Amino acid sequence: MKTVLEARNINKYFKNATTFHVLKDISFKINQSEFVSIMGKSGCGKSTLLYILSTMDTDYEGELFLNNQLITGQTNNHLSHIRNKHIGFVFQFHYLLSEFSVLENVMLPAKKLGEKSFAEIEHDAIEKLRMLDIETISLKKASHISGGEKQRVAIARALINNPSIIMGDEPTGNLDSYNAENVFNIFRQLSIEQQLSLLIVTHDKDFANKTDRIIEMEDGKLIAQTTSPHN
């Protein structure tokens, strides 16, 4: 099984008036097509870890590999490229550009990457919108669609560059149970049909129990990795 993401002995310190050891020797791997959740009490370090794994925070000790390539120590320019091409993000709040259409929002990361023509990007974006069953709202302004639709648009945007992994920080935290289940089902379908890996921080035990593996954190440490009961 191909490893998509590997964290080796990640340590992080916040250095203010005092030094705070926030992440303590975290190591784990995520395989292709695996759907993994991260759980732990508020303040245990989940978001801090996700920032490092997503290459947005480079101030840490240890090593990070994406598709078996060491990405620790790369230049900011290179990291920005890696992030845009290989990692899709879905947050609790969707961060769509409200004055832009759904279609324009989904196209943005591909335009930024600059590897395809406008027509190709538009074609890809419509395909993603169709896959998520929101093609009919493609010309609506992002401010004129529902919360559940916004999160599906955010997922389509995360998929536009065909990433290896989707990372999410509480992507269902702002949704009602119907829409939360809908997002879970989309993630599950992506992991099975597109062989996409998913790493999702969540406080929702029901959501986590349905993923392939739960990574549990406490006080900055990885304390358990549990294969979920559904397996």
Ligand X SMILES: Nc1ncnc2c1ncn2[C@@H]1O[C@H](COP(=O)(O)OP(=O)(O)OP(=O)(O)O)[C@@H](O)[C@H]1O
47 is a site residue for ligand X (CB under 6 A) = yes
β partners of residue 222: 217
Q: How far apart are CA 35 and CA 57, in angstroms?
A: 23
CB of 26 to ligand X, least distance (A): 12
Give me the phi and psi of 60, to 5 degrees please: -150, 170
The least CB distance from residue 217 to ligand X, in Å, is 7
Considering only residues 2, 21, 27, 43, which one is a binding residue for ligand X as defined by CB under 6 A?
Answer: 43
Q: Does 74 bind ligand X (CB under 6 A)?
A: no
Q: Which is nearer to ligand X, 45 or 88 (CB)?
A: 45
Residue 117 binds to ligand X (criterion: CB under 6 A): no
Q: How far is the CB of 119 from ligand X (least distance, A)?
A: 41
Q: Is residue 56 near ligand X by the rule CB under 6 A?
A: no
Q: Is 13 in the site for ligand X (CB under 6 A)?
A: no
Residues facing 37 on adjacent strands:
200, 214
> What b/e readout covers 172-197, taking b as 16+ CB neighbours within 10 angstroms?
bbbbeeebbebbbebbeebbeeeebb
Closest CA to 129 of 113, 112, 145: 145
Instruction: Note the Cα 3 to chain centre separation in Å.
Output: 16
Report the site for ligand X in 23-42 (rule: CB under 6 A). 40, 42
In whole angstroms, the minimum distance from the beta carbon of 24 to ligand X comes to 12
- CA dihedral over 41, 47, 53, 59, signed as positive or negative: negative
Q: Is 44 in the site for ligand X (CB under 6 A)?
A: yes
**CA neighbor of 156 nearest in space, from 141, 179, 138:** 138
Minimum distance, C-beta of residue 46 to ligand X, in the bound complex (Å): 4
Query: Which stretches of the chain bind ligand X, using CB under 6 A?
Result: 14, 16, 20, 22, 40, 42-48
